[in-house]
Structure 1
Amino acid sequence: MGHEILKKEKEFEAYCNELVEKYQIPGYAIGLAKNGKLFYEGGFGFRDKENQLPLSSDTVFGIGSVTKSFTCVAILQLQEAGKLSVHDLVIKYLPEFKTNNDEFTKQMTIHHFMTHSAGFPPLPNLYGAMSKTLAKDPKFEDGNEEQKTPEIPYIASYEELMECIGKGEYTLLGAPGTEFSYSNDCYALLGAVVERVSGISYEKYMKDFILEPAGMKHSVFHLHDLDGHKDISNLYNTRKKDDETIVFESNNQWDAPSMRAAGFLKSTVNDMLKYTEIFRNGGKVGNAQILTPESVEAMTTPYIQCGYDEFYGYGVMITPDFYGYKLIEHGGSIKGVAAQMNIIPELGLTGFSIANLAGVPSKKLLNCAFADYLEKPLKSSHVNVTEKNLSVDQLKEYVGQFVSGEGGKVDFSINDDGKLCAKMEGMVDSVVRPIAEDWFLFEMREEEYAIRFRRDEEGKIIRCAFGFRQLAKTELGG
């Protein structure tokens, strides 16, 4: 594999164009590098559709939750400096932090927050943190709003966020370290730890210790900090009108000062390929040693299972067997953002992929590019599973409604063909295929998702893990 090329470049680009059209993606950009050198870049569609402005590898997009890995880099830098340990208790730095379970609160460590294993179910606080900017989203003549979100008072600061968590009505999933469920709240509070330990704001810390040393000139939390750089993508969103999906421009950037550490950085393909060097190159970007090799090792250790073949490290996910290689990756989704970062350190291969519309298959396309590089069929899947045969009686156990504190819900039912189906808002029913005990796979928007059902001590199904979050079964759900 000495000369770096995509083997089936034309076929890959045809597939990109096909999905860009199918999902009405205004703009999609991708870049691949080998040993830190860009060898493929692609731009499909536009950063500004109305004015037909093209994309480049320097177009600024939001990156959503890919921000979480930056937050972990900061924590590990502070650990290297001897200012904290990831095994310290959270209350050492945030003494006012409380949950509704004192015993568990006293056991929660920074490590638990970094691995989403503190035990929090999905909470609605992100919407409270964003509510000021959400209120500026457009309303439509047909009375529909752009976004249906839980009504929550504005959460302006880390202190207010801690107050909300302290007063919230929820049940922790289990003792810290035992249950994985994705938590924006925990990552927001890691930002608070960074501030208190370093003595400077989270945003300034990012700039001084990560973004500037890595030469990420176009990576910012606020567009007004871009110093005249005009290559910025518009944001797009979708809404349903009758049965049609309408994609529209919606340049109102969401922001949440108390949640920036969870998902509000903006960056470019070129800058993100510099950033991925940290994971490929033992913590080094150019001449800057951002992390020690030991810290990189700590970040990319699979601590807790988060999907069928995926594990969570610190702010990154690890697929131990991606066609025989260890893949380090993370996605990001927020308004106008579908981002994906991939690294196979062993091959020196890194990639970043981004669209200016949420909920579209950026990850699928980047994985296809990686599969092609590895000389695998373009649209193949690295997940090797055999479908199990379950009778209708066995499937009945899984029927019911499962809800998330973030507003999501999934209904499982059995269709006329005796198959288990999942129904979500705005989605067609999908057949879910049993692949292992209490594990199912289903396809949505070109990508495979695993669902895992969770049981109580008596063996009764009480939750399902889907989209990296644990949803609780409702009483209505039988």
Structure 2
Amino acid sequence: MLEKRKYLTMIFIIIILLTGCKVNEQKNIENKMNEFLSLYNKNTEDSFSGSILIAKDKDVIYKESFGMADYENEIKNSADTIFPIGSITKSFTSVSILQLKEEGKIDLDDKISKYIGDLNNKQNITIHQLLTHSSGLQKEGLYSIEQHVPLDKNIDFIKKLPLLFNPGQNFSYSNAGYIMLAKIIEEVSGVSYNKYIEENIFKPLEMNNSFCGVDNNLIENQAVGYNLDNKNPIKLPLYNLSIVTGSGNIYSNVEDMQKYISGLLNGKLISEESLNRIKDNQLGNTEDGYSYGFFLNNRYDKKNIYHSGHIGNGGYNSLIKIFPDENYYMIYLTNNDNYEPLLITSQILEAILFEKEYALPKLENETELSEEDLKNYKGDYLFDEVQKISVLYKEGYLYTTSDDGSLNKLIPSENNEFYVENHPLIRVKFLENENNYIFRIINVTNVIEGIKINN
């Protein structure tokens, strides 16, 4: 009996230790992510403005918001803030199509002429081709910023447009194709696209802060869209997203999007067979590709599926990324029209999550190095046996040459590390190797090394 108690006590202690390690690891990740975003928003001309949620399975690893949802009324972004998610809507449309397939109401190889009439030369397009942007349809349907555009009116417009290529022969990203899919969902289900999404995705997952847009009115808790170049907020007009029903008309927040992705991965929306269709490339045996409502890629040799959303000149960008083998997923919703802050932030946060190198945009106090030390580093460096970068010494500083002939000043910081003036996300370091020097460059998360070939 005593031995059994000792055994149970030992198991209990191990569980506590493992739990403590997990908490410490998560806190370390959280601290590094906060450090990056604080420095990025402080030391660069760009601003990440919006909300971020990163999770593993159902456990949230990181959830933070930055910037203002409404400058005029001094409202900060928060986890409750609602954003239009743009083309991430396409994943909701593809899930809806797969639900209808599972119910036996459609087949992915059905020609769309079975559901939509008077198609001119488009009668041979299949549902699969619409899902994979291989239909040959034009990129856009009707375009109107402020006016409500009924779905049927948009469909009639798309029908009249010429095809870019014969169906199935190529890939061309098409909002018009997903607008067509919205019409098929309506024809098969007997309800509007917006009603179908509400009843079959929002309600089952209790996504109570998500909805399909039908006008251009700002609703409660919605972020205002801005152009934030040079940190100068310029308010942008609100779009009536009925023009992109099925391809870009959903609004949500990060907590609801967590419910969506978790529900998608855990069988609450579609079967495992259907989920595998989303995870797998549907466009052939290429490394990168497109499935149903998602792009496919590899990052750090880890497969991921993702989709971004952009309301052009409307002030919103978004991104969801899922690493299915690791059960990680990342959600970014922003109210900055510039996509670059979201792109850089997502790359750095992935590097932190997977313990890879990244450039931290610190602007440290300049370290003094002797002229002799600096001149040791000057010379030509060869990268990948092809690209040559020259390092010059001039008036107490090192410079690298750009392709256009201009010079980039290197500011010395510490440990033989430098950052490029006006480019704090590019860090360089000189390493000694067998009486020679290696020039190491970290540009955001990309790392390259060149060896010195002459002085």
Does the pair score TM above 0.5? yes
- Within the candidate set 94, 105, 108, 1:83 is matched to 105
CA 31–324 in structure 1, closer or farther in 2 if over 3 Å, else same: same
Counterpart residue number, 2:353: 373
CA 447–370 in structure 1, closer or farther in 2 if over 3 Å, else same: closer
Unmatched tracts of structure 1, length 5 or more = 134-154, 284-288, 381-385, 391-414, 418-444, 449-478
Superposition map of 1:120-135 within 5 A: 120-123=137-140, 125-126=141-142, 128=143, 130-133=144-147
Counterpart residue number, 2:70: 48
Unmatched tracts of structure 2, length 5 or more = 1-20, 361-382, 388-402, 406-442, 447-455
- Within the candidate set 162, 166, 169, 1:178 is matched to 169
- Please report how far the alpha carbon of residue 359 of structure 1 lies from its aligned counterpart in structure 2 after TM superposition: 2.8
- Please report how far the alpha carbon of residue 324 of structure 1 lies from its aligned counterpart in structure 2 after TM superposition: 2.3
Counterpart residue number, 1:247: 233
- Please report how far the alpha carbon of residue 262 of structure 1 lies from its aligned counterpart in structure 2 after TM superposition: 0.7
Determine helix, strand or coil for the equivalent of 1:304.
coil
Is residue 2:108 matched to residue 1:115?
Answer: no
Q: Return the alpha-carbon distance in structure 2 between the equivalents of residues 111 and 54 of structure 1.
A: 42
- Within the candidate set 29, 33, 39, 1:12 is matched to 33
- Higher CA-based Rg: 2
Counterpart residue number, 2:259: 274
Is residue 2:331 matched to residue 1:331?
Answer: no
- Within the candidate set 186, 211, 221, 1:231 is matched to 221
Determine helix, strand or coil for the equivalent of 1:234.
coil
CA contact (8 A) 1:333 1:359 kept: no
Counterpart residue number, 1:219: 210
- Please report how far the alpha carbon of residue 238 of structure 1 lies from its aligned counterpart in structure 2 after TM superposition: 6.2
Describe the superposition over 1:25-55 as per-residue Cα deviations: whole angstroms up to 9, x where unpaired: 4722111111112121111112122333222
Q: Return the alpha-carbon distance in structure 1 between the equivalents of residues 184 and 445 of structure 2.
A: 35
Q: Return the alpha-carbon distance in structure 1 between the equivalents of residues 37 and 307 of structure 2.
A: 20
Q: Return the alpha-carbon distance in structure 2 between the equivalents of residues 17 and 305 of structure 1.
A: 42
Q: Return the alpha-carbon distance in structure 1 between the equivalents of residues 126 and 228 of structure 2.
A: 39
CA 37–88 in structure 1, closer or farther in 2 if over 3 Å, else same: same
CA contact (8 A) 1:17 1:44 kept: no
Matched residue count: 347
Q: Return the alpha-carbon distance in structure 2 between the equivalents of residues 305 and 16 of structure 1.
A: 38
Counterpart residue number, 1:59: 81
Superposition map of 1:433-472 within 5 A: none
Counterpart residue number, 2:371: none
Q: Which amino acid in 2 is paired with 1:375?
A: E
- Within the candidate set 30, 54, 58, 2:52 is matched to 30
Superposition map of 1:61-460 within 5 A: 61-98=83-120, 102=121, 105-123=122-140, 125-126=141-142, 128=143, 130-133=144-147, 156-168=149-161, 170=162, 172-173=164-165, 175-222=166-213, 230-237=220-227, 247-250=233-236, 252-281=237-266, 283=267, 289-304=268-283, 310-319=288-297, 321-334=298-311, 335-360=314-339, 361-378=341-358
Describe the superposition over 1:104-130 as per-residue Cα deviations: whole angstroms up to 9, x where unpaired: x2331011111111123434x35x2x3
Q: Return the alpha-carbon distance in structure 2 between the equivalents of residues 317 and 6 of structure 1.
A: 31
Counterpart residue number, 1:431: none
CA 388–108 in structure 1, closer or farther in 2 if over 3 Å, else same: farther
- Please report how far the alpha carbon of residue 446 of structure 1 lies from its aligned counterpart in structure 2 after TM superposition: 7.2
Counterpart residue number, 1:465: none
- Please report how far the alpha carbon of residue 178 of structure 1 lies from its aligned counterpart in structure 2 after TM superposition: 2.4
Q: Return the alpha-carbon distance in structure 1 between the equivalents of residues 149 and 214 of structure 2.
A: 20
Q: Return the alpha-carbon distance in structure 2 between the equivalents of residues 186 and 46 of structure 1.
A: 35
Q: Return the alpha-carbon distance in structure 2 between the equivalents of residues 2 and 238 of structure 1.
A: 37
TM-score normalised by structure 2 residue count: 0.68
Describe the superposition over 1:370-398 as per-residue Cα deviations: whole angstroms up to 9, x where unpaired: 22111112359xxxxx97969xxxxxxxx
- Please report how far the alpha carbon of residue 15 of structure 1 lies from its aligned counterpart in structure 2 after TM superposition: 3.0
Q: Which amino acid in 2 is paired with 1:116?
A: H
Q: Which amino acid in 2 is paired with 1:93?
A: Y
Counterpart residue number, 1:425: none
Q: Return the alpha-carbon distance in structure 2 between the equivalents of residues 81 and 277 of structure 1.
A: 22
